[in-house]
Structure 1
Amino acid sequence: MADDPFTLFDAWYAEARASEINDSNAMALATADAAGRPSVRMVLLKGHGPDGFVFYTNREGRKAADLAANPQAALLFHWKSLRRQIRIEGAVGRATDAESDAYFASRSRDSQLGAWASDQSRPLADRATFETRFAGMKARFEGQDVPRPPFWGGYRVTPDVIEFWQDRAHRLHERRLFTRVEGGWSEGLLFP
């Protein structure tokens, strides 16, 4: 048994990458606005390690507004085929420009163009409007690399709490809770 939550995460994540049919890196991201109204949506994990868990998004959408007002978030990985989940809670900060640039450059060209074309989370009159904007971006960047938009980048959730949940028969589940303490992590169990 691992006594470091990141070692345990790496092991579980590797199993999920091998067994989940689609998007083993999908995680629910929960945020709350300044008034405490919660919102949850799926995002994709694009980096992780002892410094935190990284995802990328438009920084002018609802997620970004919530995180600007309340820089705390919760993540949830649910791997149904493994009957496991991992909950993560912690402070959120921006990934560096270098990290955001490097990840953006690794995306497909259409994904890069889509980032420029989308006013994420804002009302859209009809699909044709978005498709026209996408075509416009395709023409704008024809024959050249697509740079990262200034309004697009990464966020890192630095965990204070990480819970590993494993399904067991008769709802007698196993729950391991890691809590950040000065100099490391404290581990305990939770009742199912």
Structure 2
Amino acid sequence: MPEPLPEDPLPLLASWQKEAFAEIRNAHAMTLATVEPDGRPSARLVLCRGIDTQAGWLVFYTDRESAKGRALEVNPRAALVFHWDAFERQARIEGLVTLAPDADSDAYWNSRPRDARLAATASDQSQPIASRAAYLAKIEAASGLFAADVPRPKRWGGYRVWAERVELWVGQPTRAHDRALWTRTLAPAGDGYTGGAWSSTRLQP
């Protein structure tokens, strides 16, 4: 970790991810933790589809009627974890969550392969289904319905996680790991948030 610590951790986080892509195919995979409406914690892997280091958010896309979507509707806070084992690096991010603009969701949706769009269109994510064959039949039906363009379902879109707490960790052979924490206060601004100055400190591992 740099000494002194950088004022803003997000450019360092973005550079770590860029380095990880050289050796790790899914370097954008991150654990997304939410709290269910009944108070139960829940976690799953999603793909980070962008880090805006200036605005201060990370974005992922999913079905908003999924379990995670329902959780975020009730409690719009999330925790994220990246772990790049090949580099002995870990990043933890916590923050408030907002919906990504429709234009962003449309742009990402249209960048996806047709098969991926059909699979997402056919899936009522997190809902039970009789068999895999039944799901594949739904995809086939969607393919026939949308012979050309596959429009983005209204239920599908992006979420922005506005970072208010970032912890970075670098493993060391002696177990004297390098660990630092940045925090800031978020204030509502338009459809998102603006962040104050970051405060940083090193943490004992």
* TM-score computed with the length of structure 1 as normaliser: 0.95
In structure 1, the residue matched to 2:183 is 179
1:176 Cα deviation after fit: 1.1
Secondary structure, counterpart of 1:19 in structure 2? coil
- Percent identical pairs in the alignment equals 47
Q: What one-letter code is carried by the residue in structure 1 that aligns with 2:181?
A: L
Contact 1:59–1:153, Cα closer than 8 Å, also in 2: yes
Q: Structure 2: which 5+ runs fail to align? A: 186-194
In structure 2, the residue matched to 1:15 is 19
Contact 1:30–1:74, Cα closer than 8 Å, also in 2: yes
Tell me how far apart the structure 1 counterparts of residues 166 and 90 of structure 2 sit (CA, whole Å). 11
Alignment of 1:50-69 (within 5 A): 50-69=55-74
Contact 2:14–2:51, Cα closer than 8 Å, also in 1: no
Q: What one-letter code is carried by the residue in structure 1 that aligns with 2:202?
A: L
In structure 1, the residue matched to 2:80 is 75
1:39 Cα deviation after fit: 0.4
Alignment of 1:1-192 (within 5 A): 1=2, 2-20=6-24, 22-49=25-52, 50-142=55-147, 144-181=148-185, 183-192=196-205
Q: What one-letter code is carried by the residue in structure 2 that aligns with 1:145?
A: D
Contact 1:29–1:75, Cα closer than 8 Å, also in 2: yes
1:28 Cα deviation after fit: 0.2
Q: Structure 1: which 5+ runs fail to align? A: none
Q: What one-letter code is carried by the residue in structure 1 that aligns with 2:35?
A: A
Cα RMSD between the aligned structures?
A: 1.1
Tell me how far apart the structure 2 counterparts of residues 36 and 191 of structure 1 sit (CA, whole Å). 30
Deviations 1:134-155 (A, max 9, x none): 000111111x211101110000
Runs of 4+ in structure 1 displaced over 6 angstroms? Answer: none
Tell me how far apart the structure 2 counterparts of residues 67 and 139 of structure 1 sit (CA, whole Å). 33
